[in-house]
């Protein structure tokens, strides 16, 4: 009897590992497209990736979906985003949804009027909630900043920054 129970537990764990691997692979592609959309300011992709009830929690407080979309799609004179990469650190299932803890590497060239141009680096850790909608598309439910740090004209002190 114990052998049967153990076999069931091992079988369930194997199925969960396969599901987690499949979801991780799918979300890695979503994050790749998200990064491309953030660099090119592709408002359609950005809006399509967020559920209607999406919200974001940043260091300055909670923001609605529309506030977030407006913020990340606003063209800023003299600002050119050069990098927006995300990497999934952990992935956990909660009912029909998934929560990913990720890192984001962000870089931009800033050329202010009447001032010397500079390069900014930013590193974020966020917790993102995801749901796979009926159309098969993954859409973000929320994003909560866990921590962030920025640098000006100085590459971050991470050996893997260029990867």
pLDDT digits (tens, 9 = 90+) for 78-94: 899 999 999 999 999 98
pLDDT digits (tens, 9 = 90+) for 24-55: 999 999 999 999 999 999 999 999 999 999 99
User: Who contacts 51 (Cβ-Cβ below 8 Å, separation ≥6)?
Assistant: 65, 131, 133, 139, 140, 141
User: Who contacts 32 (Cβ-Cβ below 8 Å, separation ≥6)?
Assistant: 86
Which residue, 147, 137, 108, 129, is CA-closest to 33?
137
- Between CA 33 and CA 139 the distance in angstroms is 12
Confidence of residue 76 (pLDDT cuts 50, 70, 90): confident
Q: Give me the torsion for CA of 154, 155, 158, 163, rounded to 10°.
A: 170
Query: For the whole model, what pTM was predicted?
Result: 0.87
* Domain boundaries defined on the chain: 2-152
Q: With contact defined as beta carbons under 8 Å apart, do 41 and 70 qualify?
A: no
- Between CA 72 and CA 57 the distance in angstroms is 14
Q: Span 2-152: which CATH code?
A: 3.10.450.50
> How confident is the model over 104-112, as a mean pLDDT?
95
């Amino acid at each position: 009897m114990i052998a049967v129970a153990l076999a069931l537990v091992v079988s369930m764990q194997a199925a969960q590992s396969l599901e987690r691997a499949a979801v991780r692979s799918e979300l890695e592609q979503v994050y790749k497209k998200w990064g491309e959309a953030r660099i090119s300011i592709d408002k359609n992709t950005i809006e399509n990736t967020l559920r209607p009830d999406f919200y974001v929690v940043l260091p300055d407080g909670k923001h609605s979906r529309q506030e977030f979309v407006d913020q990340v799609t606003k063209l800023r004179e003299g600002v050119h985003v050069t990098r927006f990469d995300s990497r999934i650190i952990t992935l956990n299932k909660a009912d029909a949804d998934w929560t990913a803890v990720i890192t984001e590497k962000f870089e931009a060239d800033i050329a202010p009027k009447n001032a010397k141009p500079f390069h900014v680096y930013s590193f974020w850790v966020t917790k993102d909630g995801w749901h796979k909608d009926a159309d098969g598309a993954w859409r973000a439910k929320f994003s909560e900043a866990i921590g962030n740090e920025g640098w000006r004209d100085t590459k971050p002190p991470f050996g893997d920054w260029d990867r």
